Chains A and B, each alone.
Chain A
Amino acid sequence: MTEPVLIADKLNKTYTSAAGVEQHVLKDLSLTVPRGEFVAIMGPSGSGKSTLLNILSTLMKPTEGAVAINNKDILHMTDDEISNFRGRDMGFIFQSYNLIESLTVRENIALPLTLQKAKSRVINDAVAKVAALLHISEYLDKYPSELSGGQQQRVGAARALVHEPALIFGDEPTGALDSENAREMMNYLTTINQEREISIVMVTHDPFSASFASRILFLTDGQITKTLTRDDRSREDFYNYVLSELGNFN
């Protein structure tokens, strides 16, 4: 069996409202992602998928449970260790792109490497390589505001990929794109996943985007209530399978 890149064990997350009412968002949720796997997480609003993604990606701490990425316990790291870890082992792709508008595309993509104080030559090579992969080489000296939504999201993906992390997290990466750009983006993510063996964990509400993954987890009330695996199905077949299962699920 392939070595796991992410292990989440018995995660619980409880929010307490100002009135003192407790809400259990995640309940004993466990999850393992082997290296090179593409996992999509689906579920209705309030099912806990965003909370799960935030915990897995070190942005939030669970009330109980453990998370290890690349055999490192990410819940007991200092702030500096978490920052280093994010900068080296993880990439993020956000629904709203989250590019820094005061930086050019080249500078945005290079940020994770400049933060690690990589050499100029290494940075330039890596940016050129990832820009070529995502077909954004011609926009490197432009500002994000000069690009379309699809182009901006590709820049976001390039930034998540440039430092070759073990794991990329996606928070509705196609949520702000039209169907054409969404398909293109998912094709890029699939290429990244297959060619570079980078694991991807993506939250989405869109069955089409989810059908590019090799495994789909359905969350209801903070628990994984269904798992679909692609196995030998084609992408189109998997999509139809997901749609039919979604009908049953709802």
Chain B
Amino acid sequence: MFQIALKSLRAKWRDYTVLFVGLVISAAIFYMLSAIALNRDFLLNNSSIGLIVPVFMVGEFLLGVITFVYLNFANSFLLRLRQSEYGLMSMLGAKKSQIGDLLMQETLALGVISTVIGIFAGIGLTAASGNFLMNLLDTKLANWSVFSFNAALATLVFFVALFFINGLYNRGRLSKQDTLTLLTADKQVSQPKRHKLLDPLLGLVGLGLLILSYVMMPGIVHLGLYGFIVVLVLNVWGTYWFVSRTLKMVTYALRGSRFNNRGLRSFLNGQLLFRLPEYQRILTVISVMFGLALGAMSVGQGYYRALPQQAQSGQPFTAAYTSDKISTSNLKDITWEATYHYSVNKGKVYFNGDEFNEKKLPTVVETGKGNDTRIKWLTGDYLLATPGSEYTLTSIANQILDKQYGATAVVTHNESEMAVEGDVKSVRLVTVKSFAANEATLTANAKREARLTGTAMNHQAGVPGMFTLLKNVFGGLEFMGIFLGIAFLAMLASTLMFKVLSGVADDKRRYRILTMIGTSKRQVTATVVKDLGVLFFIPLVIGTLDVIFGLPMFKALMADPYVGFMPSLIAIVVLYVIYFVMTVILYRRLLK
């Protein structure tokens, strides 16, 4: 029996390679996400959101779900590869229990070997992607660790458990099939059934559920955890019915039409129709995963991209310089500039109130209409008469004392009162019309100020300082969003890719017949592109719609949840298209 198994492995090495590589990649991606999700210190130290740990646990759970789906179909594929050999063994007198044991051993051996290799590949992947992203985002993250014993253990236990469950399931399925069915397993095809009433009905119900889930999404914060689960169920169920029934109805409607009587359209249509029973569930899961990947990346990027605006919104001036070696002449469109004097004594910074009477100090106040703010100009008299108003000078005092927060600013009546406290120095405040137009110069100036005075960039008053501070806080969140998005995308695209490639044996025969009756290589390639294109296109459209309607869920956390959407969509589509092209190339090679 072992020899037959070995011969089968040799004969079908291409199929086994596809299966094996797919399993290694899924284990590697699972490890990659686990390495972050199980690293509490990393998550808490690099995110301002307390919910980040549960968010990653949900991410891990969802990746677990798709891994389960993937392993399920991978093991069905393994069973299908081996069925006719099992039939032969049965013909030769092997007992069902013996064959069942063999299947179980093969499944577990494949599972353990691919998972162990996958964990090592995952460590490499985590190191490579982590370093790449940190360089790209120009950020260093605390507690970042490439190797995680917990992640390796979680991956191994999860995968081996799933393989064990799948092995038991396959063994059960095998014991129910008679020898003849096993022997002719290669020649059996599944045929989709047409329901003239039920198909349009369920298609419409599916569309209704999908729309309902979109309507509920913006208000999900008020619905709580149960609301989230209801929306998820409605979305998944709606996608499943809508996609499967619509695709079936369209392909049936095209069948027998004039449209079908041209080139290889009838063949393409037939391919899609016959793929449906096998693909409808996986396309639904992949659509939802696509939405999650794009959503994670959009939210992460959204936070990051909103930073310049956020950094500017609370600042009464653009920058403050205590070093007189920094020139402001290279800044564009300066709208206000003033120099003030100060002295430092026992951890307090003293300012001259007379100077503020001459050159008023800007501060930010709320207008009372929502979150709108405006600039108010303060005199020295006002600052002295209004206790607490000196808070506006605190950010400048923090910069002078190189503190993140907690510096004390004191306004004195005149220059002599200030000079008593210590050496008099000066600080220049400047406001420019556009931060974006001056970003490079302002950043360079802030770096220079840091070098000349020893004040860290994130301790500096004004926009560049606040921007640096926010970048430190939210940079981790962007990193996690992109990381989560890439992990989801890699997993879903790999699942679809290997699902397609594992079915190539069935398609090979059909394409060979086409070649024999006069189909050119170019026509075959064009048909493959269209055939696989439809499979890749559906999750792209549904997943993108999910995100378009789902992003308002984050309105409570972000002013504009769509700010990171387009760049994320472009990045994800580029990666997805690369996967698609790779699939077409590999598929075309396997067809030969």
User: In the bound complex, do residue A87 and residue B518 qualify as a contact, i.e. CB atoms below 8 Å apart?
Assistant: yes
Task: Let me know if A107 and B266 touch, CB within 8 A.
Answer: yes
Which of the residues A59, A85, A90, A107 comes within 8 Å of B260, measured between beta carbons? Answer: A107
With an 8 A cutoff between CB atoms, is B519 at the interface?
yes
Chain B's closest residue to A160 (CB) is B517
Question: Bound complex: CA of A85 vs CA of B520, how far in Å?
Answer: 10
B255 touches A88 (CB 8 A): no
In the bound complex, do residue A102 and residue B189 qualify as a contact, i.e. CB atoms below 8 Å apart? yes
Q: Which residues of B contact A59 (CB under 8 A)?
A: 516
Known contacts A102-B273, A123-B261; is-contact A111 B267 (Cβ 8 Å): yes
The contact of B191 among A79, A98, A143, by CB within 8 Å, is A143
Q: Is A159 an interface residue (CB 8 A)?
A: yes
Q: Is the C-beta of A232 less than 8 angstroms from some C-beta in chain B?
A: no
Determine the residue in chain B with the shortest Cβ distance to A124.
B261
Measured between beta carbons, the chain B residues less than 8 angstroms from A106 are: 256
Is B270 a contact partner of A107 (Cβ separation < 8 A)?
yes
**Assembled-state Cα–Cα distance A12/B146 (Å):** 62
A222, CB-defined interface residue at 8 Å = no
Interface size of B by Cβ–Cβ distance < 8 Å? 30
Docked-complex contact B255 and A79, CB < 8 angstroms: no
Whether B517 and A103, one on each chain, are in contact in the complex, defined by CB atoms closer than 8 angstroms, is no
Least Cβ–Cβ distance between B519 and chain A, in angstroms: 6
User: How far apart are A10's CB and chain B's nearest CB, in angstroms?
Assistant: 26
Chain A proximity mask over B129-142: 1 for CB below 8 Å, otherwise 0: 00000000000000
Q: Which B residues from 24 to 66 make CB contacts under 8 A with A?
A: none
Q: Is the interface of A mostly helix, strand, loop or mixed?
A: helix
Tally A residues with Cβ within 8 Å of B. 34
Query: Is B271 close to A, CB under 8 A?
Result: yes
Using known A-B contacts A114-B265, A115-B523, determine if residue A92 contacts B517 with beta carbons closer than 8 Å.
Answer: yes
The answer to whether A110 and B520 touch across the interface, beta carbons within 8 angstroms, is: no
Within 8 A of A (CB), among B434-489: none
Residues of chain A within 8 A of B518, CB atoms compared: 83-88, 90, 112, 115-116
- Check A102–B270 contact: CB distance below 8 A: yes
- Write the nearest CB–CB distance from B62 to chain A, whole angstroms: 33
For the complex of A and B, list the 4 residue pairs with the smallest distance between their C-beta atoms, beginning with the closest: A87-B518, A102-B270, A83-B520, A86-B518
CB pairs A–B below 8 angstroms (27 shown): A80-B520, A80-B522, A83-B520, A83-B521, A86-B517, A86-B518, A88-B518, A92-B516, A100-B270, A101-B189, A101-B274, A102-B189, A102-B510, A104-B270, A107-B260, A107-B270, A110-B266, A111-B517, A112-B518, A114-B263, A114-B264, A115-B264, A115-B517, A115-B519, A117-B262, A117-B263, A118-B261
Interface residues of B (CB under 8 A from A): 189, 191, 255-256, 258, 260-267, 270-271, 273-274, 509-510, 513-523
